[in-house]
Structure 1
């Protein structure tokens, strides 16, 4: 199962169309996960044309996204429990806030965004994934998103592009 992971699209402020490199991956996606800061519901609607979409609200999302998306979500794909949260708040690092959101939940993977900093690491036996930002790289050298393959195990890779 191929899962495309993105966050912090900030559309249309940061661009009105998805990058071609991203669309190439969407064409083969079985599921899409968005970790918040969509900005508008049109982002969800466009992604839904490619595959089922699961997502959460971020701290800059409009009222339509807030009404449609929860603050956090847990889904199961191919037997793996995946926690999704944007990661904004005060105190601690974004990674730690995301981890603490699911501290009492038996999840295998935690997907979050907010910082626009791509990361992939294990912390206390949980895989933490921040796809970075598809449309707003800030001080990073490249835009990014992640692709997760779920079969017997979990394989994740970031895709960086300019």
Structure 2
């Protein structure tokens, strides 16, 4: 049995810390998957320090992370192929995610970018863990995958109550834009 914690869109700046709930869940996992948009190298390092980390880059990651991390990754856990990407779908239309999973030849596709948790079980398991810091119309969240005897079960773990984080997001966006100038 393997326990995997999947997350994405943490959007942590250099001085930000991982939420305690994320640290607690990730440190007990056999594998930590991150589907992009750490933002800072420090956020990547903090997760890497907690255990075996498999990660891909996101569209908002720093240039250093974009050089360090691949766009796509496929790992095999107990005979199950799990794909990892940042952008696979836009909104609730999962046709792109299904096609990407098929192209990557995996039974499970973990993706980010939409900042909302989602699980869809069809021919493949498609899962977006949501965002730990900037959820959209949902609570901050991660996903847990349990691989047992070649089968996978997935669930979303909320890390708090739904909240409108628009002001916090706008503040961060303003900070990022001013740092680029």
TM-score calculated relative to the size of structure 1? 0.88
Asked if structure 1 preserves the Cα contact closer than 8 Å seen for 2:3 and 2:146, the reply is: yes
Query: Which ranges of structure 2 fall in alignment gaps of 5 or more residues?
Result: 161-181
- CA RMSD of the aligned region, Å? 2.0
Tell me the distance in 2 between the aligned counterparts of 1:9 and 1:92: 18
Is 1:83 the equivalent of 2:83? Answer: yes
C-alpha displacement of 1:19? 1.5
Q: Is the 8 A contact 1:12 1:39 kept in 2?
A: yes
Alpha carbons of structure 1 residues 58 and 94: separation in structure 2 relative to 1, 3 Å: farther
What is residue 143 of structure 1 aligned with on the other side? Answer: 140
Answer with 1 or 2: which has the greater Rg: 2
Q: Which has the higher helix share?
A: 2
Distance in 1, matches of 2:104 and 2:79, equals 15
Q: TM-score, normalised by structure 2?
A: 0.79
Higher relative contact order (CA 8 A, sep 6+): 1
Give the Cα–Cα distance (whole angstroms) in 1 for the partners of residues 158 and 31 of structure 2: 20
Query: 1:65 matched to which residue of 2?
Result: 65
Deviation at 1:106, TM superposition (A): 2.3
Tell me the equivalent position of 2:94.
95
| Distance change in 2, residues 1:126/1:40 (3 Å) | same
Q: Which runs of 5+ in 1 are unaligned?
A: none
Number of equivalences: 158
Per the alignment, residue 47 of structure 1 pairs with: 47
Structure 2: distance between partners of 1:103 and 1:93: 18
> Which deviations, in whole Å up to 9, do the C-alpha atoms of 1:16-48 show, x marking residues without a partner?
111122222122111100001110111121111
